[in-house]
Amino acid sequence: MSADLLLEIGCEEIPAKFVTRALAELPEMMAARLTEARLSHAGVSVLGTPRRLAVIVRGLAARQVDLSEEVVGPPVSAAFGADGAPTKAGIGFAQKNGVDPAHLGKREVPGKKGLYAVAERHVVGQATPTLLPALLASVVSGISWPKSMRWGWGESTFVRPIQWIVALYGAEVVPFGWAELTSGRMSQGHRFLAPTALEISSASSYTEALRGAFVIVDPEARRDVVRGELSRIERETGLKVRPDEALIDEVVQLGEYPVGICGEFAREFLEVPEEVIVTAMRTHQRYFAMTDGDGKLAPRFVTLMATVVKDPKVVAAGNQRVLAARLADARFFFTEDQKKPLAEWGAKLESVVFQAKLGEAAKSMGEKVRRVGEIATAIAAHVGAAGGACDAAVVQRAAALCKADLATGIVGEFPELQGVMGMHYARRQGAGEGVAVAIAEHYLPKGQGSALPSTVEGAALALADRLDTLVGCFAVGLVPSGSADPFGLRRAALGILQILLLWGPGGECAVDSFPDLEALLSMAEHAYGPALNDGQRRGGRERLRAYFQARLQVLLTDEGLAPQDAQAVVTQDTVLRIPAARLRERARGGPGAGGRSSGVQAHRQHPG
Amino acid sequence: MYLQDLIFALQSFWAQRGCVVEQPVDVEVGAGTFHPSTFLRVLGPEPWNAAFAQFCRRPADGRYGENPNRLGAYYQFQVGLKPSPKNVQELYLDSLRRIGLDPASHDIRFVEDDWESPTLGAWGLGWEVWCDGMEITQFTYFQQAGGIDLLPVTAELTYGIERIAMYVQGVDNVYDLKWDKNVTYGQIRHPWEVEYSRYQFEELDAPFAFTLFDKYESECKRLLARGLVFPGYEMCMKSSHAFNSLDARGAISVTERQRFIGRVRGMAKACAETYVATRATLGFPLLANTLGQLAKAAYDGAAESGVNAGALAAARAVAAYAEEIPHVG
C-alpha cells in the first residue's frame, strides 16, 4: 500500500535565483528526511514558480519499516548477578528497550573490555500519516535561504512571507502548523488571472489543476513556453532573438504564466556600442536583444510578461518608454565620456583605492596600473627573447589605459562593461586596434572554461593584472579562506592557470615562450619595489605557491584527472615550472589520466 | 489623472483602510523612511499605520532641470503598515487599481529588491514593483532599524509619485506633468531644480556644511542625553542631509565617506534606542492600557541586556493579543 505525497508552499514572490536554489535543494532534503524516517518511496520530484514550491513523493509507503536493532547496555558484571540472573540495572535496561529480561544477550563490544549485556529491540513501524506532520514541518523549516525574513508579529523566518501550505497524502490532508498557518488542500491560482482559492485533490492532479488556473508549475514546461514565445516573435518579426541561456534561466523564474511581447526603440540609439544597449536591456530590464539577418543588433527587444493583459500594445509601449529613458541615459554617458581622452579618465584612478592594506605607496589604482605596465612589459620582453612575437609597445600603451574606463560614466552605470568600453574609447580615439583589443582582453578569461585572450598582448596584460593582485594581496596576508573570496583572488589564480595551460595558438606564439610561473611571480614582486619588504615577499611567495598548487590540482581534477594523479603531477616544484613543462600534457601522459580528459583544444575558446 | 489627484487618491485609499494621513516632515530628508513617522514608529511593540507624501532631496541626482527623468528632489508617497498585514500585497494592488493601474491591463510584478540604508542602520527584504517594466514602488518588510530588530515587522510602501504620474498621464518629460488643470510640474519645480543644482554642485560652502555636520552631531548627542528624542532625531536628519550635500559637492573622499556614514548611523542608532526606552517609560501608549503595561513590564525585565532585548521582549509579551491590536487589512 502506498500513495503519493504533495507538499506545496505558497509564498509571496520569491527571488528568481532563490527559486532555482530551493528547487535544487528540496528533493535531496525530502529524500533524506524520508530515509531517516524509514519511509520507502518511488522517487521525489519538485515543481515551482516564484509563488510556490512543490515537492511530490511518488509511491510513499503507508507504514514505516519495522526496526530491529541490537542495543548495547551495561557490562555483564553490572547487568547480571553472581547467580546469572539479571540485576536491577539489567532489568531496567531490558524494560527500557521493551525486551523480556530473560532474553538479554551477552557479547563483546569492539574497543571495550569484557562482555556487555545486549537487547534485541524491535520497533514496529508507525503509520505514515502520523509521521508526516512533523516531517513536512521540518522540510519547510529546513530550506536554507541566503537571506530570510520575518513578517507580521511572527518570528518564523522564510525567504518571503508564506501564504498557504497544501499537504496531501493520497487524497487526505496532512495537517500541520507552520508559523500562523495550518496546512490544507487549498492552493491559489494565478495572482491576476485566477485569483481564487483552488482545491487540490491529490498529487496526481496537481499540475493539471494549476494549469487550469493559469499557473505552469513545472519549470521545464515554463522554459518550453518561454522558448516557444521567443520563436513565435522571431517568426512574426523576421528577426532573431540573441541567444542568452542565462537570461532564459532567470526569466523562467520571474512569472507563473510567461507571455512574450516585442517592443522597439529608436534607431538612433544604435550609434551607441551594441554591448551598451544589450547590457542596458538585459541587466536592468531582463529584455532579450534581437538581431537582423546579418547578425547586427536590431532596434527591437523581447520581454516576457507574467500575465495575460487586455492589450499587449499598452504594455509594450510602457516598456518602450522605460527603455528609451535608459538608453538616453546610456547615450548621455557615452557622449560625455568621449569629451575627454581615455588617459585623462585614467588619471582619476590616482585617488581610487585598489587595496588599502598595501600601504600608502602601493594602494592606489594608479599605482596598480603602473605595476601592471611594468610586469606586462617584462613578459613581452621575455616572449620576444624566447622567439615569440609580442609587441612591447602595444603592451605598454594598453597597460597604461587598461583600467581607465573604470572612471568613466558608463562603466559607473554598467560595471560589467569594464574593458569593453575601454576598448571602444581607445579605438575611437586612435589608440590602435592592438591596444584596444588588449584592453578588453585583459579581463579574460572571466571564468573556468570561458573565452581566453585572442592576442598575445592581451594575454600578457591579463597575466600581469592578476599577478599584481595576487602577489600584493598574498604578501599582506589577504588569502582566500573557505568559500570567502572578497577580492576575487581565486578567480585571479584560476585565470593565470588557464592562460598558462590552455592559451597559445601554436603558430602565432607558442605559449612555451611565456615565462614560467616562478619568473612571473618574480616580475610581479619586482614591480612592487620597496612597497613590500623581504618578509612579506617570502611569506607571500610561499603562500602563493601552495595556493597555486592546490588550485591547479583542483583544475586538473575538474577536467577528469584522478585526484591522486593530479597530486602526483602538481608538486610544489612542478607548479612553479608551468607552462614550460606544459604540465597539462604530462598529466595526460600520466597514469590514469588518459581517457576522460577533454584535451586542450576542446577547452580553448577565442572571442570571435 | 493630475499629480495632485494621484496624491489625493492614495491618501483617501489608505485612510479608508485605517491609516493616519500625516503630513511631510519639515526637515530635509533623502527619503520618506527618514520621517519620524517611519523611522521611529517602526521601533518597539506599538502598532502604527500611516500614509503621507514626502518631499525628498537627493542633491547628487540634480541635473539643472535638463534631464527629463532625474531630479535633485522629488515626491514619495509613503505608507507604513505595522504590523505588516497578511494581505498587504492585495491591499497594495487595490491601491494601484484606484489610481488607474489595473493588473488586467498592465504587467505588474514583484521583482526582488533587498533594501538597506547604511546611514539608518536599517534593512529589509521585499521587492521593487514593476508596472510594464517600470519601477513604481519599493515594497519592503523592515527587519531592522537603528540596529534594533523589528517586531512586529512594518511593511513600507514607497510610491514614486512622478514616475507613476508620468506613466498615467503619458508624459515623457517630468516637467510636462500636469500638477492640476492649469499648472505643470515644471512651472512649480523647474526653477528650484535649476537653482539647487547650482547651489549643490557649485555654490555650497563645504567648510560651512562640515561645521554644520559636526554641530548637528554634538547637538544630537547632547539632546538625547537629556531625553529629548524628537529634537535629537531632527539633528540626525539634518546631519544626514549635510552629508548628502557634501557628497554631491564632491567634498568627501571615498575613505572619508564610510566614516561619515558611520557617524550618521551612530546618531540614528542612539535615537532609536532612546526612542524605545522613552516609549517604554510611557507604557507604550499606542497599545491599549493593559497591553501597554504588559509590554512595559517585559521591557523592564529584559532591558538590562540592552534596548534590543527589551524591545523584543515587549513585543513577545503582547504578540498573543495581536488580534486585539489595531491593524490594517
Tell me the chain A residues in contact with residue B103 when contact means C-beta distances shorter than 8 Å: 191-192, 307
CB proximity B60 to A under 8 Å: no
- Residue A574: pLDDT band (50, 70, 90) is confident
Please give the backbone phi and psi of residue A60, each rounded to the nearest 5 degrees, phi first: -75, 125
Q: CA A120, CA A69: separation in Å to the nearest integer? A: 6
Torsion angle in degrees (nearest 10) through CA of A304, A305, A310, A315:
-80
Contact B183, B164 (CB under 8 A): no
Give the model's pLDDT for residue A223: 98
Q: CA A145, CA A24: separation in Å to the nearest integer? A: 12
**Where do the CATH 3.30.70 domains begin and end in chain A?**
3-63+127-212
Angle, alpha carbons B119-B11-B244 (nearest 5°): 20
Calculate mean pLDDT across residues A162-169. 98
Contact A319, A260 (CB under 8 A): no
Beta carbons within 10 angstroms of residue A442's beta carbon? 29
Name which of B103, B133, B253 is nearest A285 (Cβ-Cβ): B133
Residue A49's nearest CA partner among A195, A220, A164, A247 is A220
State whether the Cα torsion B201-B204-B205-B208 is positive or negative.
negative
Characterize the bridge pairing of strands A177-178 and A105-108: unpaired
pLDDT in tens, A104-136: 888 888 888 889 999 998 889 999 999 999 999
Does residue A450 carry a pLDDT above 90? no
Q: CA A190, CA A214: separation in Å to the nearest integer? A: 5
* Residue of chain B whose alpha carbon sits nearest to that of A255: B109
State whether the Cα torsion B156-B162-B165-B170 is positive or negative.
negative
Contact A174, A183 (CB under 8 A): yes
Tell me which H or E stretch contains A264.
strand A259-264
Give the model's pLDDT for residue A355: 87
Are B83 and A153 inside 8 Å of each other by CB? yes
Q: Which residue out of A147, A151, A250, A301 would a mutagenesis test of the B interface target, given it has the greatest number of B Cβ atoms within 10 Å?
A: A151
Residues 40-69 of A with CB under 8 A from B: 50
pLDDT in tens, A57-84: 999 999 999 988 889 999 998 999 988 8
Beta carbons within 10 angstroms of residue A595's beta carbon? 6
Residue A157's nearest CA partner among B32, B309, B151, B133 is B151
CB proximity B152 to A under 8 Å: yes
Output DSSP code: residue B41.
T
Beta carbons within 10 angstroms of residue A418's beta carbon? 19
CB proximity A412 to B under 8 Å: no
pLDDT in tens, chain B (329 residues): 999 999 999 999 999 999 999 999 999 999 999 999 999 999 999 999 999 999 999 999 999 999 888 899 999 999 999 999 999 999 999 999 999 999 999 999 999 999 999 999 999 999 999 999 999 999 999 999 999 999 999 999 999 999 999 999 999 999 999 999 999 999 999 999 999 999 999 999 999 999 999 999 999 999 999 999 999 999 999 999 999 999 998 888 766 888 899 999 999 999 999 999 999 999 999 999 899 999 999 999 999 999 999 999 999 999 999 999 989 97
CB proximity B85 to A under 8 Å: yes
Please give the backbone phi and psi of residue B136, each rounded to the nearest 5 degrees, phi first: -120, -15
Q: What cell numbers appear for A248 in the block?
A: 532564459
Residue A117's nearest CA partner among A49, A156, A70 is A70
Give the model's pLDDT for residue A512: 65
Q: What cell numbers appear for B195 in the block?
A: 537653482
Q: CA B237, CA B267: separation in Å to the nearest integer? A: 9
Q: CA B33, CA B117: separation in Å to the nearest integer? A: 9
Tell me the chain B residues in contact with residue A255 when contact means C-beta distances shorter than 8 Å: 109
Name which of B133, B141, B151 is nearest A318 (Cβ-Cβ): B133
- In CATH, what number does A3-63+127-212 get? 3.30.70
Tell me the chain B residues in contact with residue A15 when contact means C-beta distances shorter than 8 Å: 112
Are B109 and A321 inside 8 Å of each other by CB? no
- Residue A483: pLDDT band (50, 70, 90) is confident
pLDDT in tens, A540-549: 999 999 999 9
Contact B134, B167 (CB under 8 A): yes
Give the model's pLDDT for residue B6: 98
Half-sphere exposure of A20 (CA within 13 A, CB side): 13
Does residue A509 carry a pLDDT above 50? no
Q: What cell numbers appear for A144 in the block?
A: 536554507
Write the CB contacts of A347 (distance below 8 Å, at least 6 apart in sequence): A366
Calculate mean pLDDT across residues A8-21. 97
Give the model's pLDDT for residue A599: 30
Name which of A159, A309, A353 is nearest B104 (Cβ-Cβ): A309
Give the model's pLDDT for residue A82: 87
Cβ contacts from A onto B, under 8 A: 107
Does residue A604 carry a pLDDT above 60? no
Write the CB contacts of A509 (distance below 8 Å, at least 6 apart in sequence): A383, A388, A389, A390, A456
Are A352 and B254 inside 8 Å of each other by CB? yes
Assembly ipTM: 0.96
Please give the backbone phi and psi of residue B134, each rounded to the nearest 5 degrees, phi first: -105, 135
What's the farthest any 2 CA atoms get from each other in chain A?
A: 104
Q: CA A343, CA B232: separation in Å to the nearest integer? A: 48
Q: CA B249, CA A160: separation in Å to the nearest integer? A: 39
Length of chain A: 608
Please give the backbone phi and psi of residue A41, each rounded to the nearest 5 degrees, phi first: -155, 175
**A68: exposed, middle or buried (C-beta count within 10 Å: 0-12, 13-18, 19+)?**
exposed
Tell me the chain B residues in contact with residue A163 when contact means C-beta distances shorter than 8 Å: 86
Does residue A100 carry a pLDDT above 60? yes
Tell me which H or E stretch contains A413.
helix A409-413
Name which of B103, B133, B253 is nearest A322 (Cβ-Cβ): B133
pLDDT in tens, A281-333: 998 899 999 999 999 999 999 999 999 999 999 999 999 999 998 998 899 89
Residues 13-52 of B with CB under 8 A from A: none
Name which of B112, B152, B172 is nearest A15 (Cβ-Cβ): B112
CB proximity B95 to A under 8 Å: no
Integer CA distances (angstroms), B73 to A495, B37, B135, B158, B237, in order: 45, 20, 18, 15, 16
Are A12 and B110 inside 8 Å of each other by CB? yes
CB proximity B123 to A under 8 Å: no
- Residue A587: pLDDT band (50, 70, 90) is low
CA distance to partner chain A, nearest, from residue B37 (Å): 18
Does residue A390 carry a pLDDT above 50? yes
HEC sequence for A423-450: HHHHHHCCCCHHHHHHHHHCCCCCCCCC
Calculate mean pLDDT across residues A477-501. 87
Name which of A150, A311, A351 is nearest B105 (Cβ-Cβ): A311
Give the model's pLDDT for residue A566: 86
**Which residue bears the cell 577547452?**
A603
Q: What cell numbers appear for B192 in the block?
A: 528650484
Residue B272's nearest CA partner among B315, B240, B229, B302 is B229
Tell me the chain A residues in contact with residue B109 when contact means C-beta distances shorter than 8 Å: 13, 254-255, 306
pLDDT in tens, A402-413: 999 999 999 988
* Residue of chain B whose alpha carbon sits nearest to that of A352: B254
Tell me which H or E stretch contains B155.
strand B155-160
- Residue A155: pLDDT band (50, 70, 90) is very high
Q: CA A255, CA A253: separation in Å to the nearest integer? A: 6
Q: CA A295, CA A282: separation in Å to the nearest integer? A: 18
Please give the backbone phi and psi of residue B56, each rounded to the nearest 5 degrees, phi first: -120, 135
> Looking at per-residue confidence, does A145 or A107 come out higher?
A145
Contact B231, B90 (CB under 8 A): no
* Residue of chain A whose alpha carbon sits nearest to that of B42: A152
Give the model's pLDDT for residue A447: 84
Q: CA B270, CA B220: separation in Å to the nearest integer? A: 9
Are A321 and B68 inside 8 Å of each other by CB? no
Does residue A592 carry a pLDDT above 80? no
CB proximity B202 to A under 8 Å: no
Tell me the chain A residues in contact with residue B108 when contact means C-beta distances shorter than 8 Å: 192, 307
What is the reported pTM? 0.86
